[in-house]
Amino acid sequence: MSTIKEVANLARVSPATVSRVMNGEVPVAQQTRQRVEDAMRHLGYRPNSFARSLASNRSDCIGLVISHLAGPFMGTLMVNLEERLRLNQKSLLVASGHDELQREQDSIDFLMSRRCDGLLIQSDRLSDETLISLAAEIPLIVINRRVPGLEAQCSHVDNRQGSYLATQHLIHNGHRHIACITGPLWKQDAAQRLAGYHQAMEEAGLAIDETAIIEGDWQERSGSHAVCTLRERGIPFTALTVGNDDMAIGAMLQMQEWGWRIPEDVSLVGFDDEVYAHFVTPGLTSVHVPVDHMAQSASAQLLSLLNGKPWEGQRCFMTHLVERGTVVPPR
């Protein structure tokens, strides 16, 4: 492996000049720069990024702490974060906490030990206090969550508004007996989506049957289990508003297995508008979450923070309803 001294000898410059060319922070004559770059290519020299970060106190790496790696939502999030950062000569390092508090804390420690310039954090387990304290140590942006006291460093979706739209759509189609399947209610987004359901029902003057609200875990099987519970409880419902598309499809497949027709017997609306929502039969009406815009905003916010510039862009993103084939008026 070649060294910076060998590059300097071949280019007939000092090692300090080679460093200036690599860092790009001090002007270097174009002829000299060209000789250094030619020498680096000829020798196959690869700069020691860790050594450079020690010298410049900048790694050009951004750390991402993410609750888990699976699913279209997380895939879309990571693709858009990486794309925006790469355009700004930043690399993305990813660590998953697997939805466990200790592993998320370990992920933060790992990324900070790698001298990341800043952090992007998508976490439900880390407390508000922990995130506020961490923001005093390193530039960070919280994704898909609003942290009181740290609102200026959050990029999130108005989940309440989305669930309100979903429930209101069912009400406008004439439904009065609307059950609800939520995500884990200790999570902020699930609790906000339940609040949107309550708001729409209350505004319409409809009674809310708390036994018709079933808590799931975001997974398809919990959608199936939820409608089984509703059936076992003997709760009449003509429509379902569901906390995400996975659970909505689980519920739909279970009801179809019983011979119930969707949407003639039961209408339903999902949430997230995942890519597969229009592949099921009938196509799933769902609330679209602008994950791409939220991710691009988060990365742009962090870059502004790193450059000491105020962020003038959007922090909270609105959802909209995508109508397909799972909602009709009740019979």
Place of tokens 């309440």: 160
Contact status, residue 170 vs residue 269, Cβ threshold 8 Å:
yes
pLDDT tens-digit profile, the chain (331 residues): 678 888 888 888 888 888 777 766 567 888 888 888 888 888 887 766 545 544 445 678 999 999 888 878 888 999 999 998 988 889 999 999 888 999 999 999 999 888 899 999 999 899 999 999 999 999 999 999 999 999 999 999 999 999 999 999 999 999 999 999 999 999 999 999 999 999 999 999 999 999 999 999 999 999 999 999 999 999 999 999 999 999 999 999 999 999 999 999 999 999 999 988 989 999 999 999 999 999 999 999 999 999 888 888 899 999 999 999 999 999 8
Burial of 19 (0-12, 13-18, 19+ CB in 10 A): buried
Q: Find the helix or strand (DSSP H, E) in which 132 lies.
A: helix 128-135
pLDDT of res. 47: 67
Indicate the domain borders of the chain.
4-47, 61-157+291-317, 159-289
Long-range contact pairs involving 82-90 (C-beta distance under 8 Å, separation at least 24): 83/296, 84/295, 84/296, 84/299, 84/300, 84/303, 85/299, 85/303, 88/303, 89/60, 90/60, 90/61, 90/62, 90/117, 90/303
Residue 60: what pLDDT? 85
pLDDT score of 52? 53
Same fold for the domain at 4-47 and the one at 159-289? no
CATH number for domain 159-289, candidates 3.30.70.870, 3.30.70.20, 3.30.1490.110, 3.40.50.2300 = 3.40.50.2300
Q: How far apart are CA 227 and CA 255, in angstroms?
A: 8
Q: Are 218 and 242 in contact (CB under 8 A)?
A: no
d(CA 129, CA 158): 22
pLDDT at 1: 65
Tally Cβ neighbours within 10 Å of residue 177. 15
The whole-angstrom separation of Cα 22 and Cα 52 is 9
How many other CB atoms are found less than 10 A from the CB of residue 98?
13
Q: Report the CATH fold assignment for 4-47.
A: 434 Repressor (Amino-terminal Domain) (1.10.260)
At position 320, the amino acid (one-letter code) is: H
Give the pLDDT of residue 54. 44
- What DSSP state is assigned to residue 125? S
Give the C-alpha separation, 279 to 159, whole Å: 24
CATH of domain 61-157+291-317: 3.40.50.2300
